[in-house]
Structure 1
Amino acid sequence: MKKLILTMAIAVMGFTAVFAQDSTRRAKRPMAKLTAEQRAEKATGVMEKKLNLTADQKQKVYAIELARAQKMDAFRNEDRDAMKGKMKDRKADLEKSKADLDKVLTDEQKTKLDAFRAEAKEKGGKMRKGMGRDRKDKAPVVSSPPAQG
């Protein structure tokens, strides 16, 4: 009888530990495979909403974003070794598209876009820290601390 009660108690504790897992975490959704046109349309839509673009500006921004998205597709489809070698070209293309956007936008819109980019950069940094990739500012773990005398 004691063995039965002990076995039941161990089973209850085991099931409690299993079901105590955090179920509030979001399930990972697979990223949708968007075409270059869809990504350019999405980026243009976000900028239109945030920056109040005119119809002419919207067309020009779409053309810039489409060209950038197509170049990024080309970079992604290349060999990994070739991609590492062309990182400078990729950054130069990104800077060129930013400069083209600056020519299209007004000063107020540029300010809003810079704020939006800074916010996105900060948000991305927080996400990377949350993933455990950025461990530079954490103290090292010491398995056996020195004895105090």
Structure 2
Amino acid sequence: MKKLILTMAIAVMGFTAAFAQDSTKRARRPMANLTAEQRAEKATGMMDKKLSLTADQKQKVYAIELNRAKKMDAFRTEDRAAMKGKMKDRKAEMEKSKADLDNILTAEQKTKLDAFRAEAKEKGGQMRKGMGRGKRDKAPVVSNPPAQG
């Protein structure tokens, strides 16, 4: 009888430890493999929705986004060693397309776009901050801290 109770207690503890693992991680969705035209259309649609572009602006933005997407595809198809060396070229190309977009947009649209870019940059920084570091122990939360004095 004692062996049965002891075996059951060990089994319960083992199952408890097994199910206590963190299961809050989200499953990663596979990224859609879009063509340059699809990425340009998606970016243009998003800008149209956020910035209320005119028809003329929409055409110009699509042309800029398509050009950017094709150049990024060309950069991605190169080998890894060449990619690191061309980082300055990629950055210069991105700045050029940003400048072209700023020439097309009105002042109000520029401020909206800058706010959107800043928000996206902050969000990306937060995502990168937590990547690959695992969970670190945090300081315990004290609900009633001792009084100072």
Question: Where on the TM-score scale, by shorter chain, does this alignment land: which range?
Answer: 0.7 to 0.9
Structure-2 residue corresponding to 1:70: 70
Tell me the amino acid that sits aligned with residue 131 of structure 2.
M
Structure-1 residue corresponding to 2:93: 93
Tell me the amino acid that sits aligned with residue 27 of structure 2.
A
Alpha-carbon distance in structure 2 between the residues aligned to 1:60 and 1:22: 48
Alpha-carbon distance in structure 1 between the residues aligned to 2:25 and 2:108: 39
| Residue 21 of structure 1, CA deviation | 2.9
Q: TM-score w.r.t. structure 2 length?
A: 0.85
Superposed CA offset, 1:92-121 (max 9, x none): 100110011011100100000000000000
| Residue 24 of structure 1, CA deviation | 3.6
Alpha-carbon distance in structure 2 between the residues aligned to 1:119 and 1:103: 21
Structure-1 residue corresponding to 2:43: 43
Structure-1 residue corresponding to 2:81: 81
Tell me the amino acid that sits aligned with residue 107 of structure 1.
A
Moved more, 7-16 or 108-117: 7-16
Tell me the amino acid that sits aligned with residue 37 of structure 1.
E
Q: CA RMSD in A?
A: 1.2
Alpha-carbon distance in structure 2 between the residues aligned to 1:56 and 1:14: 66
Gaps of 5+ in 2: 134-149
Structure-2 residue corresponding to 1:116: 116
Alpha-carbon distance in structure 1 between the residues aligned to 2:16 and 2:9: 11
Structure-1 residue corresponding to 2:59: 59
Structure-1 residue corresponding to 2:138: none
Structure-2 residue corresponding to 1:140: none
Structure-2 residue corresponding to 1:106: 106
Tell me the amino acid that sits aligned with residue 87 of structure 1.
M
Tell me the amino acid that sits aligned with residue 84 of structure 1.
K
Give the ranges of 4+ consecutive aligned residues of structure 1 lying more than 4 Å apart after TM superposition: none
| Residue 35 of structure 1, CA deviation | 0.8
Alpha-carbon distance in structure 1 between the residues aligned to 2:42 and 2:17: 44
Structure-1 residue corresponding to 2:141: none
Structure-2 residue corresponding to 1:30: 30
Partner of 2:64: helix, strand, or coil?
helix
